[in-house]
Amino acid sequence: MRFRRFLSVTKTVTARNIHNYLSSPALLIPSIAFPLVFFLTFLGGMGRIADVPGLVIPGGYKSFQFTFILFQASGFSGIFSGFAMAQDFERGFIRRLMLAAPQRGGIVAGYVIGAVFRAVIPGTVLFSVGLVAGVRVEGSALEVVLLLCLAVSFTLIAALWSCGIAMRLRTIQAAPLMMVPFFLSLFLTPVFLPLAFLTGWLQTAAENNPITRILGGARGLIAGRPNGTGAAFLVAALMAALLTIWSWRSLRRAERAGG
Amino acid sequence: MSPVLTQIAWIGRRSILRTLRQPAAIVPAIVFPLFFLVFMAGGLSSVASIPGFPAPTYLSFALAGAFVQGSMFAGMNGGADLALDIQTGFINRISLTPIRGVTLVLGQMFGALGVAFLQGTSYLVYGAISGVEFQTGLPGALAILLAGFVVATAFGTLGALVAARTGSAEAVQAMFPLFFVFMTFSSFFLPRPMISTRWFRTIADYNPVSYFIEAIRGLIISGWSARELTLGLGLASAVSAAGLAGASKALKTRLARS
């Protein structure tokens, strides 16, 4: 019974988030355009980076860059879900929702699943453009599915983080707090070149950044040379688990504050 | 002092004070390009070893991009301030005085120029500490600051044009993605001769931002080049003149309407 209530709330909140996303060009267009602009910039403006002496990238440099852009787009979809939640707090919608929802965990689940849906459209467009632009997907069907699973898990991680912030601060002014740590963590990975080609403190930071493992696993999958896939999924699962606790505690805090 | 200069000075003073009172607007405008520069310099340091790369380190190459990116932020903030003045009714009250639109727009640029000065100084200091050898020495460093002013004015007048036409700070902020596209589809990441993708190279060739960056970059990595400076600063001045004319005209209509 409790689970059915949870599902019912989740379904309603997810449907609302999807509807808002699809019916608002201000949300839909940037979510598709931004990853494309990044991809085209990396593809067109930085192709010669592949000429760095000693650089050998399985699957080619385009695939290497494409994977980063895919994860960036997936992550931002999660972050934007936190923005949506913060706005709903400001408008008083969540206060009403908390009064009505028999299982409040379903509210968070609704935003998080909505984030996954938000990631599907830009991800699909990006993948299509990538294939047309010559990104080599050398992984098998199973490896591509695993790559997409990692991307989805990254959306979940970002959504749980940003929704946690939204529930704690309950204002859209907290947007930089959702965005900046995420942005920093993402850029403290081997963005442009593999780990071995980074220097100084950036290399140390990237080595110790868990997102490097996720990204590394994904890059191995797209290149058809899985390397550290298990570690990537393990790190993603651990991060998702920790952030689920974080968002659950944030929900309790929001409840205590009265929404 | 002529009345016009007095008016510009007063509006400019107000613009600078207002900008200084908004650390939330200044700090990201300085920190974000610096952050991007640090990441690029660390992540792309190996690029300097590609044969034909024009700079000894990627940091010295990328430093110019930070100046132009910072100027973009500063200029947009200037435009947003003008839009706020429209939204809050300040422009309506100004319409009762003899101040002209062009004076208002020019005065509003002072805040953006103040931010551009802070940015320029920060990036020069960061570059010097990080081992960038400025090929044009101290005079070149001053020229870089001046070039930063010219580029900030170009972006600022474009922001002012949007502000004057729409009267909305949100609309000015919404220009960010467009400016960002201009920024990235240029010689921001690599020199134009090293851009191997033809369509991207063509866009970079026609993109004025490439020349803004190259004017400053030349002063850092290669020395005084009349051609690069004339092209970059000439284009920035042309953009400024067009933006100023457009913004003044739109503001004139707005003043007459209110």
What is the pLDDT, as a whole number, of residue A58? 84
Comparing A177-181, A184-188, B229-233, the range with the smallest average pLDDT is A177-181
Helix axes B23-43, A200-207, angle to 10 degrees: 90
- In tens, the pLDDT along A50-72 reads 888 888 888 888 999 999 999 99
Q: Which of B45, B185, B186, B198 to mutate to test the interface with A (most CBs of A within 10 A)?
A: B45
Task: Search chain A and give the residue with CA nearest B24.
Answer: A176
Residue reference for tokens 């600022």: B156
pLDDT band at B179 (very low <50, low <70, confident <90, very high): confident
CA A35 → CA A68, A155, B100, B255, distances in Å? 10, 14, 43, 40
Decide if pLDDT at B39 tops 90: no
- Exposed, middle or buried, B41 (CB in 10 Å: 0-12/13-18/19+)? buried
Q: Nearest 5°: CA angle at A187, between A181 and A189? A: 115
Q: Write the CB contacts of B156 (distance below 8 Å, at least 6 apart in sequence).
A: B74, B75, B76, B78, B79, B108, B109, B112, B113, B240, B243
Q: Kindly provide the ipTM of the predicted complex, given to two decimals.
A: 0.71
Q: Are A17 and A106 in contact (CB under 8 A)?
A: no
B178 interface with A at CB cutoff 8 Å: no
What is the pLDDT, as a whole number, of residue A41? 87
The stretch B20-40 carries a mean pLDDT of: 85
User: Is B190 close to A46, i.e. CB distance below 8 A?
Assistant: yes
Decide if pLDDT at A34 tops 60: yes
pLDDT band at B236 (very low <50, low <70, confident <90, very high): very high
- How far is the alpha carbon of A197 from chain B, nearest alpha carbon, in Å? 6
What is the pLDDT, as a whole number, of residue A199? 83
Q: pLDDT: is A13 or A30 the higher one?
A: A13
Residues of A in contact with B49 (CB under 8 A): 52-53
Q: Which of A99-108, B111-120, B231-240 has the highest mean pLDDT?
A: B231-240
The stretch A5-12 carries a mean pLDDT of: 92
Residues of B in contact with A38 (CB under 8 A): 184
Task: Search chain B and give the residue with CA nearest A198.
Answer: B43
CA B82 → CA B22, B79, B94, B172, B237, distances in Å? 14, 5, 12, 10, 20
User: Is B199 close to A44, i.e. CB distance below 8 A?
Assistant: yes
Q: Which residue range forms the structural domain that includes residue B51?
A: 3-257
- In tens, the pLDDT along B49-76 reads 998 899 999 999 999 999 999 998 888 8
**Positive or negative, the Cα torsion across B126, B217, A45, A195?**
negative
Q: How many CB atoms lie within 10 A of CB A100?
A: 11
Decide if pLDDT at B258 tops 70: no
Q: Which of A46, A72, A132, A177 to mutate to test the interface with B (most CBs of B within 10 A)?
A: A46
User: Is B196 close to A52, i.e. CB distance below 8 A?
Assistant: no
Q: Which amino acid is at A153?
A: S
Number of domains in chain B: 1
DSSP state letter for A98? H
Residues of A in contact with B45 (CB under 8 A): 197-199
Q: How many CB atoms lie within 10 A of CB B185?
A: 22
**What percent of chain A has a predicted confidence (pLDDT) above 90?**
62
Phi, psi for residue A106 in degrees, rounded to 5: -65, -25
Task: Search chain B and give the residue with CA nearest A55.
Answer: B46
Mean pLDDT of all residues in chain B? Answer: 89
User: Is B39 close to A44, i.e. CB distance below 8 A?
Assistant: no
- Exposed, middle or buried, B227 (CB in 10 Å: 0-12/13-18/19+)? exposed
Decide if pLDDT at B97 tops 90: no
Decide if pLDDT at A27 tops 80: no
Name residues 66-125 of chain B within 8 A of A (Cβ): none
Mean pLDDT of all residues in chain A? Answer: 91
- In tens, the pLDDT along A127-172 reads 999 999 989 999 999 999 999 999 999 999 999 999 999 999 998 8
pLDDT band at B93 (very low <50, low <70, confident <90, very high): confident
Decide if pLDDT at B207 tops 90: yes
pLDDT band at A215 (very low <50, low <70, confident <90, very high): very high
Tokens linked to B44: 């792309």
What is the pLDDT, as a whole number, of residue A126? 94
Q: Which of A218, A111, A106, A105 is nearest to A154 (CA)?
A: A218
What is the pLDDT, as a whole number, of residue B74? 87
Residues of B in contact with A191 (CB under 8 A): 39, 43
Comparing A218-227, B41-50, B91-100, B235-244, the range with the smallest average pLDDT is B91-100
- How far is the alpha carbon of B190 from chain A, nearest alpha carbon, in Å? 7
User: Is A48 close to B194, i.e. CB distance below 8 A?
Assistant: yes
Query: Is the whole model's pTM more than 0.80, yes or no?
Result: yes
d(CA A204, CA B52): 29
Q: Are A168 and A89 in contact (CB under 8 A)?
A: no
What is the pLDDT, as a whole number, of residue B124? 95
B46 interface with A at CB cutoff 8 Å: yes
d(CA B163, CA B79): 6
What is the pLDDT, as a whole number, of residue B80? 84
What is the pLDDT, as a whole number, of residue B257? 55
What is the pLDDT, as a whole number, of residue B256? 65
Q: Which of A173, A189, A168 is nearest to A75 (CA)?
A: A189
Tokens linked to B109: 């640029």
Residues of A in contact with B177 (CB under 8 A): 30, 33-34, 37
Host H or E run for residue B179: helix B176-184
d(CA B75, CA A67): 33
**What percent of chain B has a predicted confidence (pLDDT) above 90?**
53
Pick B44's closest partner by Cβ from A40, A193, A200. Answer: A193
B24 interface with A at CB cutoff 8 Å: no
The stretch A235-244 carries a mean pLDDT of: 97
Pick A41's closest partner by Cβ from B47, B50, B185. Answer: B185
Q: Are B5 and B100 in contact (CB under 8 A)?
A: no
User: Is A44 close to B200, i.e. CB distance below 8 A?
Assistant: yes
pLDDT band at B98 (very low <50, low <70, confident <90, very high): confident
Task: Search chain A and give the residue with CA nearest B39.
Answer: A187
B47 interface with A at CB cutoff 8 Å: yes
Q: Are B28 and B68 in contact (CB under 8 A)?
A: no
Q: Nearest 5°: CA angle at A5, between A254 and A87? A: 35
**What percent of chain B has a predicted confidence (pLDDT) above 70?**
98
Task: Search chain A and give the residue with CA nearest B192.
Answer: A45
Decide if pLDDT at B92 tops 90: no
- How far is the alpha carbon of B163 from chain A, nearest alpha carbon, in Å? 19
The stretch B88-117 carries a mean pLDDT of: 86
